[in-house]
Amino acid sequence: MTDAADSVVRPGSTSRAKRKKIRPQPGAPAPVARESRTTKRVSDHVKGLPAGWRVIAAKEFADHVTSVRFLVLTIVLGLAAAASVYSTAGLIRDLAASATEAPSLFLKLFTVAREGAQIPTFVAFIAFLGPLLGIAFGFDGINGERAEGTLPRLVSQPIHRDDVINGKFVAGLSAIAVIFVALTAVVAAIGILQLGILPQPEEVLRLLVWIIVAVAYVGLWLAMALLVSVVVNRAATSALIAFAVWLALTAFAGLLVGLVAGVFAPTPAGATAAQQIANLSLQENLARLSPGQLFTEATGAILDPSVQTFSVVSLLQVQAEQRAIPSILSFDQSVLVIWPQFVSLIAVTAVAFALAYVSFMRQEVRA
């Protein structure tokens, strides 16, 4: 009876086993706390997210295309492109009788300028003003976040630290590509309306390759601007440094090359042909240190099928020996001609971005 009574639990009462506290035995491992439902949901949500650099790139790209700087730069480049192609289309229309049989007539909208006109060609505009796109999208990429105090919170999110700089670089390249595609479409539309001709399939391929080369050229300046943004703490200072480098390598590159070539390969009065050739060769090699020269050479070959060489010395020698045979290069041959210039642009861009990447990863981010 006693055992049966003890085994019965009265309603509302608690058994001794339940009331007895279970004490951990000495040396036993501590009990592991169960993961809460909220923590589990957050971890599952983070695992379902795409790569961190894609999240950063999508947000930065949206900020770029809705910013005032994107609108202003697009309008400025669009007006310059429209003015240049309108002038070129008028020149081609005036010379329509002799230009009908010209090869790749549609591409001349991008490379030919009216003689004596104050408006340069479209590609000349891009070679000079294109770096401003890269600088505008990169000069405050990192130090802008640091100045606003958002960088510590950004790197504290469930993403890797290098995703920040990778995403910003991809977003800048994407915004630049959108601008170039839009500008090329505007130039092509104006040319079609003015001339009444449609581009051939090979001309479309050449324009697509030119867009890739242009994005690589401006991407170099974007990587350089990001590097300055990582190294310099203030956005205004990084912008001044980037603009100084741009002016030195574009506006004053020809002057610097001429001065250096005059020192190491002088051409005094009455210089021989060998001395003049040595001076020209040194100028060509030094000029290729400028990204603008590489872009100009690649543009000239891909948009003009008649360009077979970039060396003025080689061209003069061939003309002097009367061995020049006028011919038109196919698309794949033109790609082979510009391949060294394109690889050089990609290599310099990779070096600049690698320096920015390493510098950013080694910096200390404090809240």
Instruction: Report yes or no: 84 and 121 within 8 Å, Cβ to Cβ.
Output: yes
pLDDT for 159? 77
Nearest CA-CA partner of 315 in 347, 275, 281: 281
Instruction: Give the tens place of pLDDT for each residue, 63-96.
Output: 999 999 999 999 988 888 888 887 777 677 665 5
Instruction: Give the tens place of pLDDT for each residue, 203-239.
Output: 999 999 999 999 999 999 999 999 999 999 898 999 9
35 confidence band (pLDDT: 50, 70, 90)? very low
User: If you average pLDDT over every residue of the chain, what do you get?
Assistant: 79
98 confidence band (pLDDT: 50, 70, 90)? low
pLDDT for 238? 92
- Domain span at residue 165? 50-251+288-362
The answer to whether residue 268 sits within a structural domain is no
The answer to whether residue 263 sits within a structural domain is no
pLDDT for 144? 86
The answer to whether residue 274 sits within a structural domain is no
Nearest CA-CA partner of 300 in 145, 135, 124: 124
Distance CA 163, CA 82 (A): 38
Q: SS3 letters for the chain?
A: CHHHHHHCCCCCCCCHHHHCCCCCCCCCCCCCCCCCHHHHHHHHHHHHCCCHHHHHHHHHHHHHHCCHHHHHHHHHHHHHHHHHHHHHHHHHHHCHHHHCCCCCCCCHHHHCCCCCCCCCCHHHHHHHHHHHHHHHHHCCCCHHHHHHCCHHHHHCCCCCCHHHHHHHHHHHHHHHHHHHHHHHHHHHHHHHHHHCCCCCHHHHHHHHHHHHHHHHHHHHHHHHHHHHHHHCCCHHHHHHHHHHHHHHHHCCHHHHHHHHHHHHCCCCCCCCHHHHHHHHHHHHHHHCCCHHHHHHHHHHHHHCCCCCCCCHHHHHHHHHCCCCCCCCCCHHHHHHHHHHHHHHHHHHHHHHHHHHHHHHHHCCCCC
The answer to whether residue 276 sits within a structural domain is no
Domain count, the chain: 1
The answer to whether residue 260 sits within a structural domain is no
The answer to whether residue 229 sits within a structural domain is yes
The answer to whether residue 85 sits within a structural domain is yes
Amino acid making up residue 84: S
Instruction: Report yes or no: 337 and 329 within 8 Å, Cβ to Cβ.
Output: yes
How large is the average pLDDT for residues 252-273?
82
Distance CA 144, CA 131 (A): 20
**With 90 as the cut, is the pLDDT of residue 135 above it?**
yes
Cβ neighbours around 271 below 10 Å, total: 14
The answer to whether residue 214 sits within a structural domain is yes
pTM tops 0.85, yes or no: no
How large is the average pLDDT for residues 142-170?
84
pLDDT for 325? 54
